[in-house]
Amino acid sequence: MVSDLAAAPGNSAPLELVDLHKRFGSQQALAGLDLTIQRGTCYALLGPNGAGKTTTLNILLGFLTPDQGRARIDGVDVLADPEGARRRLAYIPEQVQLYPRLTGFENLEYFHALGSTVAADTDMLRDCLRRAGLADAAHDRRVATYSKGMRQKVGIAIALARRAPVMLLDEPTSGLDPQAAWELNASLRDLAGQGITILMATHDLFRAREVASRIGILVAGRLRQDLDADSVAGAELETLYLEEVRQLQGTGP
């Protein structure tokens, strides 16, 4: 129901990163990243500035080529079949770019026609806006009147209309007020509950626990912790995070 593409070859996990390495000059951005994310998981990837979060997303999106290792989306290798991998992905950037003079619905209609092969009708598109958490009353208002949180919801609706089984988000709640961040997270949790697999990079430890079912701590290009979100209390997560970061920066007690 979620996706025409949901039937992965074999029983592959929707996201599989194995021994990923990426270097920029003398900077080792990824140094053997292993990460597997199961279907319907909302995974929050935490990590300090420069940890390699965006580099990871860019490899999945095919914008960067890893030096070593492999990345598979729904069993499809991003290097061997970049088009196939890309079709299975939706990316919601921090700043969703929309046409301010068009309404939320018109933006969705436009971007869907431009970027997807999935047939669209009005009911399907409105349903995507609702599932993304945009109230009906806002669908036909110009985007110029939208808050950042509302624009992000249109971005999620565009992703939903494409029926991609995997969603990537880079710092989705940065710059959102607490209520907007809470709403966005509630929508993401619902989508994960519907079987969509979500990987989000974030700095927000508090909201990571709120939205995610699993939490990873990436430091210096390697996954140092891979945790069940319910198994760590907020203070414990902060302590773990700081320990991991300090150990690698040589500033630990």
Ligand X SMILES: Nc1ncnc2c1ncn2[C@@H]1O[C@H](COP(=O)(O)OP(=O)(O)OP(=O)(O)O)[C@@H](O)[C@H]1O
Q: Provide the binding-site residues for ligand X, judged by CB under 6 A.
A: 24, 27, 29, 47, 49-55
**Candidate ranges 4-12, 19-27, 47-55, 205-213; the one touching Mg ion (CB under 5 A):** 47-55
Residue with Cβ nearer ligand X (54 or 116): 54
Residue with Cβ nearer ligand X (4 or 34): 34
Contacts of 69 (CB under 8 A, 6+ apart): 17, 18, 19, 20, 21, 30, 32, 33
Residue with Cβ nearer ligand X (201 or 240): 201
Residue with Cβ nearer Mg ion (12 or 54): 54
Structure tokens at 177: 């007020």
Residue 183 and residue 151 in contact, taking contact as beta carbons nearer than 8 Å: no
Does 12 interact with Mg ion (rule: CB under 5 A)?
Answer: no
**Candidate ranges 11-19, 53-61, 118-126, 189-197; the one touching Mg ion (CB under 5 A):** 53-61
Q: Which does 216 bind (CB under 5 to 8 A by kind): Mg ion, ligand X, none?
A: none
Residue with Cβ nearer ligand X (51 or 85): 51
**Candidate ranges 49-57, 81-89, 132-140, 190-198; the one touching Mg ion (CB under 5 A):** 49-57
CA atoms within 13 A on the CB side of 130: 8
Residue 192 to residue 186: CA distance in whole angstroms: 10
User: Among 112, 121, 123, 98, which Cα is nearest to 163's?
Assistant: 112
Beta strands in 25-172 (DSSP E): 27-37, 42-46, 68-73, 76-77, 89-92, 166-170
Q: Please return the burial class of 250, using the count of CB atoms within 10 Å of its CB with bins 0-12, 13-18 and 19+.
A: exposed
Does 54 interact with Mg ion (rule: CB under 5 A)?
Answer: yes
Residue nearest to Mg ion (CB): 54
Q: Which helix (H) or strand (E) holds 149?
A: helix 148-161
Min dist. Cβ of residue 54 to ligand X (A): 3
Q: Which does 193 bind (CB under 5 to 8 A by kind): ligand X, Mg ion, none?
A: none
Min dist. Cβ of residue 143 to Mg ion (A): 25
Q: Interface residues with Mg ion (CB under 5 A)?
A: 53-54
